[in-house]
Amino acid sequence: MNSPANITDPLVLFMPSGKRGRFPIGTPVLDAARQLGVYVESVCGGRATCGRCQIEVQEGNFAKHKIVSSNDHISPKGPKEERYERVRGLPEGRRLSCSATIQGDLVVDVPQDTVINAQTIRKAATDRAIERNAAVQMCYVEVDEPDMHKPLGDLDRLKAVLAKDWGWKDLRVAQHLIPEVQKILRKEKWAVTATIHKDMEFSRATLIALYPGLKNEAYGVACDIGSTTIAMHLVSLLSGRIVASAGAPNPQIRFGEDVMSRVSYVMMNPDGREAMTKAVREAVNGLIGEVCEQGGVDRNDIFDSVFVCNPIMHHLFLGIDPTELGQAPFALAVSSAVQGWTHDIGIEVNRGARFYLLPCIAGHVGADAAGAALSEGPHRQDKMMLLVDVGTNAEIVLGNRNHVVAASSPTGPAFEGAEISSGQRAAPGAIERVRIDPETLEPKYRVIGVDKWSDEDGFEEAAKATGVTGICGSAIIEVVAEMYLSGLISEDGVVDGALSARTHRIIENGRTFSYLLRDGEPRITVTQNDIRAIQLAKAALYAGIKLLMEKQNITGVDTIRFAGAFGSFIDPKYAMVLGLIPDCDLSEVKAVGNAAGTGALMALLNRDHRREIEREVSRIEKIETALEPDFQQLFINAMALPNKVDPFPRLSEQVTLPPRSAVSEEGGSVESAAPRRRSREERAARRGRS
Amino acid sequence: MNSPANITDPLVLFMPSGKRGRFPIGTPVLDAARQLGVYVESVCGGRATCGRCQIEVQEGNFAKHKIVSSNDHISPKGPKEERYERVRGLPEGRRLSCSATIQGDLVVDVPQDTVINAQTIRKAATDRAIERNAAVQMCYVEVDEPDMHKPLGDLDRLKAVLAKDWGWKDLRVAQHLIPEVQKILRKEKWAVTATIHKDMEFSRATLIALYPGLKNEAYGVACDIGSTTIAMHLVSLLSGRIVASAGAPNPQIRFGEDVMSRVSYVMMNPDGREAMTKAVREAVNGLIGEVCEQGGVDRNDIFDSVFVCNPIMHHLFLGIDPTELGQAPFALAVSSAVQGWTHDIGIEVNRGARFYLLPCIAGHVGADAAGAALSEGPHRQDKMMLLVDVGTNAEIVLGNRNHVVAASSPTGPAFEGAEISSGQRAAPGAIERVRIDPETLEPKYRVIGVDKWSDEDGFEEAAKATGVTGICGSAIIEVVAEMYLSGLISEDGVVDGALSARTHRIIENGRTFSYLLRDGEPRITVTQNDIRAIQLAKAALYAGIKLLMEKQNITGVDTIRFAGAFGSFIDPKYAMVLGLIPDCDLSEVKAVGNAAGTGALMALLNRDHRREIEREVSRIEKIETALEPDFQQLFINAMALPNKVDPFPRLSEQVTLPPRSAVSEEGGSVESAAPRRRSREERAARRGRS
């Protein structure tokens, strides 16, 4: 429509994408955005009625043009835009880009309402905007009435105007819509809004829903199906706003606490797979109901959904028998991204809605790890980034824009408090912080649900409600690290029995010694076996990291991201003291919360992120620790506190690798932005349930 | 793989396609066929185990090469081919094109087992071969076993080998298969046969079924859903052979005899649409059961299906409310071709099977007319072809390769024996042939189910079983034509009462006269009203034809095709005498039987025919007779016997157009190749049911 751009034409820069181009004076800003591939929403197709194409003009002066106020560089509001402002209201500084035309150089800010912030990531270092390019678009059109001279079907004329007004050529039509089209077209005198899904297999656009008149809402859900917890965001696909978030326990827990026990359940019970598939789908449907109620949204207005999960959850959710994942060679039924109709997997949203599951990286490194990789983006960095998500297995991703490697390592459940004499899940009453005075060897600790440290006045009174019930994962790390720092244990992890002369807290326990952390009811000790369990777990994690560092041919990493719930609660300093992670500037060690869920959100809001992670997953070098001849030696070396470079002969005789079990059973959880105390209680409550 | 072709390379000509090319000596014939786009089936991918790629070498000498026997121009049988011949047998003269290599100039005959012949078309003038290029292909592959070093999913490795061995890039996978893949792959040690559908929307290839080991069978059905009769062929998609054919009455008849009464039923009954959709789908499922039993085929081995039907059957079959088709502007919900999963429309064949419905031409000219046009192919002719299918409406297609026009004309049910005093459907006892002696004015006639003419000895005895019950459509044409030829009626259709002086067969009947055809029980007469009804029907048909001839700017047609059951039984001579059709060399007037069903068969066996008819339907000029100012005058002119060019003032005052009802209610029927007498009885029996 516009004549070709000329060097004397105004220059327009779109933010935050940074895309720029020259356009003749009089070009609508929306047209300029489209020509540059800048995604600006519009439902009404330039009729100035939907209000979705709002932009802000930040400034308007570049080199060759005279410096003038930006008001001169954009057309004044015309009658259509003024009518919209009068009827619907327009925030200060906002313009409708379909109506505002370019009159001079412009910097155009496209508001990105989705910000990854405290609402989605706990302890987020930076707020990040996700640029929107959702797979769903709402397109208002006015269809030609039937004409006996040109007897094209109603649907065919609808397709013709969608091609003419919106450029949708060769549009597919969801089969279930065909019997509905005629009635819908006639309800509002041939004016309809078509819901187009642009991310079907191979980017074929498809008509998935149709509404009479102008329909100005479209939603999607991003969901992380963890073994323990299922977390979900409900998002407006038109504004990018997170409308509601919720979490719920994974009801599959009744079939088995961890993923491997669920695989066993399938192997032992003929209906086991079906029962677990049904359970997880019901839970997802329940959560959809919850976020819809929170957000005041009709579940039929949900048109798209993105899921992340570990490989076994992935298979069970899709109705695939996970038995193969329970035994070598841990063959995934499908590793690439899976998409389809939500209807076909029993998810109850709009009948035409689609689902997208991120690709799995390997048999033990699932779509959740892919989601975390998408969120943190080692492949987008110059820095060498280490991304770890610790659960029963640790998923480890290491790399930068040149090369990324990934592996899982069998850490076992010690970090989660299992296999520890006084271990427990994080819940009110669990010790979560520990300090030991290196002089007196006396401990102090904090308990979930209690604000005071144990050596402060009134602690016992404050702890009456919860009691002091055990040690959770983060405190296990700290107590072992503090014991090492205070000399209670040696580099090889042996509790120094000689110190029983200096303190009553060293207790003889058969042939080994324990450390008395709390002499109350219950009595809480850290035994030699506890320390061994932590050593094994941390050695497995560190050996996995070290193996990937060898693959990358590096001796240090630039930046570290701890994903998942465990990562959110451990203190990076203690992780480093204990040798869970390689040395790194502490300011570069960050907990990123449910990064997998954030990755799902990114893939929901911008389909370019789907292509990005599909490409990256195919590029990632997958390392299977069990097949690596070096891994055993690295594991043995990593038993020391902190890690040794050379073999540790004494230990090598005593230890064996923990058996290969399965992928992380840690699903992420959605943390609210409520004050710390409240969020801790919520978290505790959630963990208590699982 | 082969080096580029050289002018000295052998020349290979493939028949019947006529495609040719030069290939280096040693090129397998199958590879040469593929490079030229000649469709030769192969399931095993060149392993010489499936035997599907058989060809015949007809001759082997062209211009530049010396004349030698063809045996020298093709490689001798190698060990693989010899093993196949020993184990499975190879017909005389057949070779496996995957194993036989080019050694010199060759004419290669690709056997086309589907021949449109007496089995499918009654009174077929010529046997025609349908070149095969089915939408379904069976592809045998051997999949890599899982590798922990390259942890691609099982499905992903299957896709990789399908890309490598068969060239299927970006293959889609039917969602229902995903949970099945792992077990199927492991059943025969990673050897599987993939069923690929190549005619999804926009030709995206899709994996729709998967079998352990070599699976060497694939079937499809072609189905014509008529208002009265549903007819079906079961076809091997690999050999092209028609395995079985069957017909059944359309159970929707209980909701209304003709299509308009079914639309009324939908308008009057809230569950009417659903009930009729269910009925027709059940009937189709029943027929599938019948053809499968006949052919010894498992219905799960049916992967593709093609349907033709008139617009109202089309809508009801797809579950679309046909109400809009009952009133102007007769808007189709969808006019373009519709395809989808048979599972979604309740057709019970393989879970991954697809369906394809030919496009509709207009609100009264359906996918059945498109099927007939595809079968007879006016758009493929230099000759100007008239194609008519007469039912309650007549569908008329007229054109040649330059331009095709189409219309429907409201003939009403008179041609089917309705609205005729002694009219009846074609069934035993119905008069089907009539002759009147121009001297004596005495009639003779033949009756369905009786071999003798009525004036032959023993007729009454022979007719005792059936009786003589009425006049069917073909005889109505004949009796009116014979009355005209013998001077019993004038050009304007008035029975000449003065002739009552010459014969007792002219009977006064109030103010008009009737002709006594049979003076028995029942007494069968042809009344003035009967003649008027036939005049109206034939005038509507002829006016429609004439209108299309005006659109084409022609005064005569080169060739005429009568499609449908009515066309199969009328004598073209009488049709011409009466002025149903324009003058044409009688040898160029042909009945083509169920041409719509033949079109469905063509679209099933060769997906190029789908593109052909989609293209042609979009090109056809659609004429709505009700909107044409000339139509009324043409109609009046056509009331005369035979048609007048000038208006007929006397009649124009008396007649009005029959009300616009709806499209033809004549579905085609499958005629067997059994001897004439038996087939007539079968036909009669079938009509008796409807």
**pLDDT of A126 higher than 90:** no
Three-class SS of residue A635?
helix
Q: pLDDT tens, A258-303?
A: 888 899 999 999 999 999 999 999 999 999 999 999 999 999 999 9
Please state which CATH number belongs to domain A11-109. 3.10.20.30
DSSP code, position A362: B
Is A334 within 8 Å of B153 when comparing Cβ atoms? yes
State chain B's maximal CA–CA distance in angstroms.
105
Return mean pLDDT, chain B: 86
Mutate to test the interface with B, among A157, A274, A320, A355 (most CBs of B within 10 A): A320
**Rounded Cα distance, A473 and B689, in Å:** 79
User: Chain A closest CA to B657's CA: distance in Å?
Assistant: 19
Chain A contacts of B202, Cβ < 8 Å?
A: 170, 172, 204
- The share of chain A scoring above pLDDT 90, in percent, equals 60
**pLDDT of A122 higher than 70:** no
Percent of chain A as helix, strand, coil, to the nearest 5: 35, 25, 40
| Whole-number pLDDT of residue B473 | 82
Please name the helix (run of DSSP H) or strand (run of DSSP E) that holds residue A3, with its range, or none: none
Task: Provide CB contacts within 8 A for B538, sequence distance 6+.
Answer: B411, B578, B579, B580, B638
| Whole-number pLDDT of residue A202 | 58
In the structure, what pLDDT confidence band is assigned to residue B225 with cuts at 50, 70 and 90? very high
Is B624 within 8 Å of A182 when comparing Cβ atoms? no
Is A363 within 8 Å of B622 when comparing Cβ atoms? no
The CATH class for the domain spanning B372-412+536-654 reads alpha beta
- For A394, list phi and psi in degrees, rounded to 5: -105, 130
The residue ranking higher by pLDDT, A626 or B119, is A626
| Whole-number pLDDT of residue B685 | 44
Three-class SS of residue B447?
strand
Return the closest-CA partner of residue B667 out of B184, B398, B397, B317: B317
Cis peptide before B329 (omega within 30 of 0): yes
CB B580 within 8 A of CB B536: no
Pinpoint the alpha helices (H) of A444-527.
459-462, 473-485
Q: pLDDT tens, B496-540?
A: 999 999 999 999 988 999 999 998 888 999 999 999 999 999 999
CB B563 within 8 A of CB B669: no
Q: Supply angle C-alpha B637, B641, B645, rounded to 5.
A: 35
Task: Provide CB contacts within 8 A for A503, sequence distance 6+.
Answer: A440, A441, A442
**pLDDT of B650 higher than 80:** no
Is A333 within 8 Å of B179 when comparing Cβ atoms? yes
| Whole-number pLDDT of residue B69 | 47
Q: pLDDT tens, B261-319?
A: 899 999 999 999 999 999 999 999 999 999 999 999 999 999 999 999 999 999 999 99
Q: Which residue has the tokens 């450029």?
A: A167
Mean pLDDT of A180-188: 97
Equal CATH topology for A136-212 and A373-413+533-654: no
Chain A contacts of B181, Cβ < 8 Å?
A: 333-334
Q: Which long-range contacts (CB under 8 A, 24 or more apart) does B511-518 make?
A: B515/B479, B515/B483, B515/B488, B517/B422, B517/B431, B517/B434, B517/B443, B517/B445, B517/B471, B517/B479, B518/B431, B518/B443, B518/B445, B518/B454, B518/B468
Chain B contacts of A172, Cβ < 8 Å?
A: 201-202
| Whole-number pLDDT of residue A113 | 63
In the structure, what pLDDT confidence band is assigned to residue A472 with cuts at 50, 70 and 90? confident
Query: Of the CATH numbers 3.30.420, 2.60.120, 3.30.2000, 3.30.110, which one belongs to the domain with range A373-413+533-654?
Result: 3.30.420
| Whole-number pLDDT of residue A66 | 46
**Rounded Cα distance, B301 and A279, in Å:** 34
In chain B, where are the structural domains located?
Answer: 11-109, 136-212, 219-367, 372-412+536-654, 422-526
Which fold would CATH assign to domain B219-367? Answer: Nucleotidyltransferase; domain 5 (3.30.420)
CB A55 within 8 A of CB A40: yes
Return the closest-CA partner of residue A201 out of A356, A307, A350: A356
Mean pLDDT of B243-253: 91
In the structure, what pLDDT confidence band is assigned to residue A304 with cuts at 50, 70 and 90? very high
Three-class SS of residue B539?
helix
Return mean pLDDT, chain A: 86
Mean pLDDT of B537-546: 93
Is A153 within 8 Å of B202 when comparing Cβ atoms? no
| Whole-number pLDDT of residue A201 | 63
Chain B contacts of A336, Cβ < 8 Å?
A: 153, 155-156
**Rounded Cα distance, B393 and B411, in Å:** 5
Mean pLDDT of B477-481: 92
Chain B contacts of A148, Cβ < 8 Å?
A: 328-330, 363, 624, 626-627
CB-nearest to A178 from B150, B181, B334 is B334
ipTM: 0.83
Please state which CATH number belongs to domain B136-212. 3.10.20.880
